Every structure is written in C-alpha cells, then in structure tokens.
Amino acid sequence: MAEIRIRPARTSDVHGIKELVAPMAAERILITKDTVTYYESIQEFVVAEDESGTLVGCGALHVMWEDLAEVRTLATSPAARGHGVGTRMLRELMARAERLGVSRVFCLTFEVGFFAAHGFEVMANQETIPAEVFGELLRSHDEGVAEFLDLARVKPNTLGNTRMIRSLSPGA
C-alpha cells in the first residue's frame, strides 16, 4: 500500500468518514450515525489518508469517565485492509488515551482477533465499577456507555459484537 498518514480529523473529513462507515454499517458491522453526530464528535477522530488525500481509514476515542474511554468507529477501506492501517490508527487512539490519563479502553467489536492482538480482552459479564460511578454513568444518554454497562435497554439493538477492554500501563 502507498504512503499512509494518520492525522486528527477535520470537519471537511465528515463525508469521507461516512463513506468509510456506510458499507460496514450495511453489513451491520458498525452502526451508522447522523451527520450531525460526526460533526459533534470530530475532535475524537483520527483519519488515515493516502498520498492523494483520500481517506482510507478512521477511528475515534470517546472518553466515558475519568479512567475509561471507548474506541469507536474504527474502519478502513477495503483496499487498506490487511496493510496495517487499522493498527496504526488504533495505536494513535491508545496514545491519545494515555495522554488523557485514561487507564482502561473499551470497544465493541466483531474483530475479536484484531483487538486481542492489541492487548484487549473479552470483558466479564459485569465490569467492576464503583457504585457511585455506575450511578453517574447511568445518567449518560450515550449508547456506548449503555453498552459498556451491559444495560438491558441496549440488548435489542446489539449487533452481536463482543465487549472487550484493555488496561493501560500507569505512566505509559
């Protein structure tokens, strides 16, 4: 694959991100979002672009709590798959998590092998969370938080993916 650059996303990337997500959403691998949602969260995204400036990948890191974030919308174009683009974006998102002081990163995925190769483990049925934090997280309207908490209300919408988590080294 040609030279790929990973960079923070810009508002002008939203339509390219939607194009990357669309075929994966059609296969029920990712959930499609409204355009406004991508704009509202653009600062969470990184993109991978080739030498012509074409987007070949995207991914986001969404902070959920003081010590917890979620990798979201990690997608690559069919041509970029198998060339390390997803790995490079995931490494950048994990570095962001470390810089923010997050100690655990969560994901919902069908790509269990990919995430396991990057240190993620399948989550226990109920991740241990202090009661006061659980109560605060219940106030969130974010579906990713509901998935993390394994709330019954998200069960009908679950795509059948796997909840995984990775702990980051302190001070890494």
pLDDT band per the 50, 70, 90 thresholds, residue 29:
confident
- The domain locations on the chain are 5-167
Q: Is the pLDDT of residue 94 over 70?
A: yes
pTM of the shown model:
0.82
Give the whole-angstrom CA distance, residue 93 versus residue 87.
10
How confident is the model over 104-140, as pLDDT tens digits?
999 988 899 999 999 999 987 655 666 666 666 666 6
Residue 172 CA: distances (Å) to CA of 31, 52, 137, 162, 168:
32, 34, 26, 26, 7
Q: Is the pLDDT of residue 156 over 80?
A: no
Q: Is the pLDDT of residue 163 over 80?
A: yes
Domain 5-167 matching CATH 3.40.630.30: the answer reads yes
Q: Is the pLDDT of residue 155 over 70?
A: no
**What's the angle, vertex CA 17, arms to CA 159 and CA 69, rounded to 5?**
60
Residue found under tokens 């995207």: 58
